[in-house]
Amino acid sequence: MLKLSTAILISYFIGAIPFSYIIGLKYKQNLFIKGNKKSGSANVLKTVGIKPAVLAFTGDFAKGSGTIVVARALGFDSSIVLVLAMSTIVGHWKSIFIRLKGGDGFATLGGITLAIFNVAGFAAVFIGLSISYLSKFFKYSSTLCIPGGYIILLISTRNVNLQITGVGVMYFLVFMKSHTGFLKQKYLK
């Protein structure tokens, strides 16, 4: 039990590393008052530029994939790996390092997807990024990548099991987190 509790806390702290916020500050931009007002690579792209956004995306992506790789190396089974993955996303959403603020977790979820599903995960991440890029004329284009990526993941795996279901729940939660922010910004001004 101590090993699991420690792993959950470490996963949270890894997820809480605010790469996007740090990169924004390096360029003298407070992401919480600029762009979509979230600490994520999409906001870094909107407020700072493409090269810093790629760095932010890479850091957030690595948080997700790194957590899964380490969890598997430590011998955790699939259900615990999913709990640790969700803990990493929660850390990204509510970072203790930036007053319990954060981003939506798209890049972190992408890293988790790739690490769990390998080739199918790569296809899902690639399609998700492609959808996000092709729909960039929408204000919240990154939310469109979630359903597209998950559909590709379902088609690619052709096997509904604990992992695909657990990751599906994460996709749903990240999608809802993004839409909740959208609805608050649009209707609760």
Q: Which amino acid is at 51?
A: K
3-state secondary structure (DSSP) of residue 145:
helix
3-state secondary structure (DSSP) of residue 7:
helix
Domain-wise residue ranges, the chain: 2-187
The pLDDT of residue 17 is 96
Tell me the pTM.
0.88
Beta carbons within 10 angstroms of residue 180's beta carbon: 11
3-state secondary structure (DSSP) of residue 148:
helix
State the burial class of residue 169 (Cβ atoms within 10 Å of its Cβ: 0-12, 13-18, 19+): exposed
Q: Which residues contact 104 (CB under 8 A, 6 or more apart)?
A: 38, 40, 42, 93, 142, 143, 174, 177, 178, 181
Query: What tokens appear for 131 in the block?
Result: 């959808």
Digit-by-digit pLDDT tens for the chain (189 residues) are 788 899 999 999 999 999 999 999 999 999 889 888 888 888 898 899 889 999 999 999 999 999 999 999 999 998 999 999 999 999 999 999 999 999 888 899 999 999 999 888 888 888 888 877 776 666 555 667 788 788 888 888 877 788 888 888 998 998 888 877 555 555 555
Of the CA atoms within 13 Å of residue 66, those in its CB half-sphere come to: 17
Q: What is the distance between the alpha carbons of residues 40 and 34, in angstroms, rounded to a whole number?
A: 12
Query: What tokens appear for 124 in the block?
Result: 């899902």
The pLDDT of residue 142 is 60
Beta carbons within 10 angstroms of residue 136's beta carbon: 13
Q: What is the distance between the alpha carbons of residues 11 and 63, in angstroms, rounded to a whole number?
A: 9
Beta carbons within 10 angstroms of residue 187's beta carbon: 7
The pLDDT of residue 180 is 72
The pLDDT of residue 149 is 83
Residue recorded with tokens 């990024």: 129
DSSP category for residue 143: G
